[in-house]
Amino acid sequence: MDSADDAYVVGYTTSSTFPATAGAYQIKNNADIAGGWASVFVTKLNTTGTALLYSTYLGGTGYGARGAGIAVDGFGDAYVTGNALTIDFPTTNGAFQTLNKAAAAVNANPTAYSGNVFVTKLNPTGAALVYSTFVGGSTDDYGLGIALDGSGDAYVTGSTDSSDFPVVNAYQSTNPGSANKAPSAFVTEVTRPARAWCTRHTSAAAAYRRKPAAVPA
């Protein structure tokens, strides 16, 4: 919620008729919804829950993306994170990472999918991206939660299978579980404008997550 008690929701949808508002950043679900794949949605409701202030899709084609965490700053900007499974998930110029390394690694195989974390900041009307970036390595990485500090830096946590997940000023600079396909947790600080990062890994034995399956249409 923001200071006006408006509510913000993030998730994912396989629907082509999920409500998107006029002027929203993305008004179409571009994912392969016939195959059961989803796009992220970001929705802002008024204080009484009786109207959408904005509602937008967010994602690329094919296997799409899934939203998992959201935070809102004092200006009404929404910060979202999750897992993007395509190379065409929207990113912005100058972002920390504009290539989905995991998706690119399997892009030649039409039956394989893999994805990186995305961190995206939407403006207060949901009409434009302030910034949007991938963060991840060559295998599966998942953004699961996000929080903000008073200066607008975003803190993202989740899990990673990648041995080459980006690390800067890290408490733990290697992923001990990647050789056994066991994920580690990560904590990443994203500073404005999504260029400086501080990433830390925890023990691989402490985290577990499943590869997402297609959601039935």
pLDDT in tens, 112-168: 899 999 999 999 999 999 999 999 999 999 999 999 999 899 999 999 999 999 988
64 is a domain residue: yes
Number of alpha carbons in the 13 Å side-chain half-sphere of residue 164: 8
* pLDDT for position 170: 83
**Mean pLDDT of all residues in the chain?**
88
Domain count, the chain: 1
Instruction: Enumerate the β-bridge partners of residue 65.
Output: 84
CA dist., res. 122 & res. 72, Å (int): 10
177 is a domain residue: no
Residues 79-101 as b or e (16 or more Cβ within 10 Å = b): bbbbbbbbbebbbbeebbbeebb
173 is a domain residue: no
CA dist., res. 76 & res. 122, Å (int): 9
**The 141-148 sheet, strands edge to edge:** 141-148, 154-160, 184-191, 196-201
Question: What three-state secondary structure class fits 71?
Answer: strand
Q: Number of helices (H) and strands (E) in the chain: give both, helices first.
A: 1, 11
142 is a domain residue: yes
* pLDDT for position 171: 85
Range of the domain at 81: 7-153
Record the tokens describing residue 177, joined without a space. Answer: 């579980």
90 is a domain residue: yes
2 is a domain residue: no
Record the tokens describing residue 152, joined without a space. Answer: 């607008």
Say if CB 52 and CB 18 are below 8 A apart: no
Say how many Å lie between the first and final Cα of the chain, rounded.
Answer: 30
178 is a domain residue: no
Give the number of residues written for the chain. Answer: 217
What's the pTM?
0.89
pLDDT at position 172 over 70: yes
pLDDT at position 181 over 90: no
Of 98, 156, 113, 165, the closest CA to residue 136 belongs to 165
165 is a domain residue: no
Please state whether the peptide bond connecting residue 19 to the residue before it is cis, i.e. omega within 30 degrees of 0. Answer: no
More reliable by pLDDT, 142 or 202: 142
